[in-house]
């Protein structure tokens, strides 16, 4: 991994789009849930039915899709989960990609809400949890081209509070993809801890936490190896 600033590492494997595509091929979910779609670039990788949520879609892709049902919800993820739509369908996603608001308390809520609704063997992927410099990890979006915000905090939160999860941090460029398996829709551990986590972690910066400490907390999983082992197109 290339070092950008002291202690930082940079996910330098294949693009996260290539890894997402391989995950779609390998998981073949009955239903795909995407939080944060914007242009549709990641949504266009879905190979079947999907639900996509974004308060401001700006779709440039998705002229066709192979599934029978595609649902767009132009609202925040909190509003979507509160709507009860998923429950009303009686269906449970097999794969979810969480790429909405890049503040850790939002991603924590998205993870809790998604996990509670996933089907057996479900997989959740989190985007942008591996910043390669301090500016891109600020809570306020600055002039950086890429903004990860402080969703990197999900990695230590899940490592500490949810040892029951399988957490792989893939070196998918540019800012990593965290792939989480062994989900437990019944778990209420995060919900119980969330108020305290939000208060105690809000003002923690990546510089204060220590980029070296963050990157020492996991071994990169290889996106190239996963892609090579996934079913072909």
Interface residues toward ligand SAM, by CB under 6 A: 35-39, 41-42, 53-56, 76-77, 99-101, 106
CB nearer ligand SAM, residue 6 or residue 83: 83
Structure token pair of residue 122: 């479900």
In the complex, the smallest distance separating the C-beta of residue 56 from ligand SAM, rounded to whole angstroms, is 4
**Using CA atoms, how far apart are residues 50 and 59, in angstroms rounded to an integer?**
15
In the complex, the smallest distance separating the C-beta of residue 89 from ligand SAM, rounded to whole angstroms, is 19
Number of Cβ within a 10 Å radius of residue 105: 18
In the complex, the smallest distance separating the C-beta of residue 35 from ligand SAM, rounded to whole angstroms, is 5
**Using CA atoms, how far apart are residues 130 and 71, in angstroms rounded to an integer?**
30
CB nearer ligand SAM, residue 36 or residue 131: 36
Number of Cβ within a 10 Å radius of residue 17: 15
CB nearer ligand SAM, residue 76 or residue 187: 76
CB nearer ligand SAM, residue 65 or residue 159: 65
In the complex, the smallest distance separating the C-beta of residue 60 from ligand SAM, rounded to whole angstroms, is 10
In the complex, the smallest distance separating the C-beta of residue 29 from ligand SAM, rounded to whole angstroms, is 16
In the complex, the smallest distance separating the C-beta of residue 220 from ligand SAM, rounded to whole angstroms, is 20
CB nearer ligand SAM, residue 13 or residue 100: 100
Asked whether the beta carbons of 86 and 117 are under 8 A apart, the reply is yes
Strands 70-73 and 166-170: unpaired
CB nearer ligand SAM, residue 20 or residue 206: 20
Asked whether the beta carbons of 175 and 128 are under 8 A apart, the reply is yes
Write 189-193 long-range contacts (CB < 8 A, 24+): 189/161, 189/162, 190/108, 190/111, 190/112, 190/157, 190/161, 190/162, 191/112, 193/161
């Amino acid at each position: 991994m290339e070092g950008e600033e002291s202690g930082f590492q940079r996910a330098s494997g294949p693009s996260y789009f290539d890894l997402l595509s391989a995950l779609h091929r390998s998981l073949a979910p009955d239903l795909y849930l995407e939080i944060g779609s914007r242009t549709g670039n990641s949504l266009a990788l879905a190979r079947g039915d999907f639900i996509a949520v974004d308060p401001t879609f700006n779709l440039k892709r998705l002229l066709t899709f192979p599934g029978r049902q595609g649902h767009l919800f132009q609202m925040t993820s909190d509003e979507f989960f509160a709507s009860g739509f998923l429950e009303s369908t009686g269906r449970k996603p097999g794969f979810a990609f969480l790429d909405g608001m890049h503040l850790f308390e939002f991603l924590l809520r998205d993870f809790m809400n998604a996990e509670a609704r996933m089907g057996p063997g479900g997989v959740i992927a989190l985007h942008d949890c591996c910043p390669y410099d301090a500016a891109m990890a600020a809570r306020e979006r600055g002039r950086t081209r890429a903004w990860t915000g402080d969703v990197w905090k999900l990695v230590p939160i899940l490592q500490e509070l949810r040892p029951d999860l399988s957490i792989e941090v893939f070196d998918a460029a540019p800012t990593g993809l965290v792939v989480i398996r062994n989900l437990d829709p019944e778990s209420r551990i995060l919900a119980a801890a969330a108020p305290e986590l939000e208060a105690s972690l809000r003002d923690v910066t990546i510089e204060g936490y220590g980029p070296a400490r963050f990157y020492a907390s996991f071994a990169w999983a290889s996106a190239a190896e996963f892609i090579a082992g996934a079913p072909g197109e």
